[in-house]
Amino acid sequence: MADALAPIRALPIWRGKPRIEPLEGGITNKNYKVTDDKGTFVVRLGDDIPVHQVMRFNELAASRAAAATGLSPAVVHAAPGVLVLEFIDGRAFEPDDIRQQKNLDRIVPLIAACHRDIPKHLRGAALIFWVFQVVRDYAATLRDGDSVHLSKLPDLLAASERLEAAAGPFDIVFGHNDLLAANILDDGDRLWLLDWDYAGFNSPLFDLGGLASNNELTEARERWLLETYFEAPVTDDLWRRYQAMKCASLLRESMWSMVSEIHSSLEFDYAAYTAENLARFEAAYADFVQT
């Protein structure tokens, strides 16, 4: 533990001796709550993760733009492998929270503001998060790593090609691209959007489909989500494109976990996470194929 905390203690920003507590729940980075004589902060430790296309310069730029937009905590300090953020005293959502209509009413404006307003504040080079390229790259990484899931890859890649063809034409917005429940924080007055590891330009349907698939929204809630976001009735064409992106979100989450089984050093049951997400993808894809 001492070695892990040395980079935090060495930061030049502290007043007095920093008091460091681990924060639970991260499955990509190590996160800590740090309190010194002037306040409380969150410190995220993590280098680039090439196998997941995570680049910290991009996370930092997105975090700053999201803070300037008013969606995310302020960036206090950044150094190689370290990001220090304002601490927000709140509760991370669970999937059950996302499924409640009163919370969905608050989440849709948050997503819309992310898509619409972050580019106004984004500085520097911009990335695109193209889920179908992510899937192709994950397949190559799994082959290189002799994954236990190699036999599944031909079918998964064929499904990805079918979904990519069905998901267009594409509108492009600035996406969060990782709308797990835990990345939405409620401080009692408002919501905050956290963790910009995978941020980049994308179709809005990926965030909407990811929110629905990660939190198992009912079809009625999904249709409400689309109608509210687009401020228009859901056409058959939009519904099919949305379903394709929702399947792609589940496929990416499944293959993300397969890659993490090989490459992650964090203590997390990635094999169980793979099995859970793969089962959900297969069910959603079977429904998609039948429509």
On whether both 153 and 14 belong to a single domain, the answer is no
Mean pLDDT over the full length of the chain? 95
Residue 26 has what pLDDT? Answer: 67
Q: Dig out the tokens for 104 from the structure.
A: 């969905």
Are residues 253 and 145 part of one domain?
Answer: yes
Q: What is the mean pLDDT of the segment spanning 186-214? A: 97
d(CA 245, CA 149): 23
Please determine, for residue 27, whether its predicted confidence score (pLDDT) is greater than 70. Answer: no
Mean pLDDT for 89-116 is 97
Residue 128 burial (10 A CB sphere; 0-12, 13-18, 19+) = exposed
pLDDT digits (tens, 9 = 90+) for 44-101: 999 999 999 999 999 999 999 999 999 999 999 999 999 999 999 999 999 999 999 9
Look at the chain and report how many structural domains it folds into. 2
State whether 223 and 183 are in the same domain.
yes
Q: What is the pLDDT of residue 105?
A: 98
CA atoms within 13 A on the CB side of 143: 9
Looking at residue 266, what is its pLDDT?
A: 84
User: pLDDT above 90 covers what percent of the chain?
Assistant: 93
> Which two structure tokens, joined as six digits, stand for 21?
């507590």
Residues facing residue 30 across a β-bridge: 45
Residue 226: pLDDT above 90?
A: yes
Q: How confident is the model at residue 267 (pLDDT cuts 50, 70, 90)?
A: confident
Q: Both 190 and 126 in a single domain?
A: yes
Residues 37 and 168 in one domain: no
Based on the domain organization, do 169 and 63 belong to the same domain? no
Q: Are residues 67 and 198 in the same domain?
A: no
CATH number for the domain spanning 96: value is 3.90.1200.10
Q: What is the pLDDT of residue 1?
A: 44
What pLDDT score does 243 carry? 97
pTM for this model (two decimals): 0.94
Of 54, 86, 118, which residue constitutes the final position of a domain?
A: 86
Q: Do 193 and 128 share a structural domain?
A: yes
Of the candidates 86, 110, 130, which is a domain's last residue? 86
The Cα 222–Cα 154 span in angstroms is 30
Q: Is the pLDDT of residue 2 over 60?
A: no
254 lies in the same domain as 138: yes
Per-residue pLDDT of 247-266, as tens digits, reads: 999 999 999 999 999 999 88
Q: Give pLDDT, residue 285.
A: 97
Residue that is last in its domain, among 25, 55, 86: 86
Whether 72 and 100 map to the same domain: the answer is no
| Whole-number Å distance between alpha carbons of 71 and 89 | 15
Sequence-separated (6 or more) residues with CB below 8 Å from residue 136: 157, 160
One domain for residues 185 and 215 = yes
Residue 61's pLDDT is 98
Amino acid making up residue 265: S
192: left (phi over 0), alpha (psi -120 to 50) or beta: beta
CATH code at position 54: 3.30.200.20
* Burial class for 267, CB neighbours closer than 10 Å (0-12, 13-18, 19+): exposed
**Phi, psi (degrees; rounded to nearest 5) at 219:** -60, -40
Domain that holds residue 52: 2-86
Show the tokens assigned to 241.
């494109």
Give the pairing of strands 200-202 and 173-175. Answer: antiparallel
Q: Based on the domain organization, do 227 and 275 belong to the same domain?
A: yes
290 has a pLDDT exceeding 80: yes
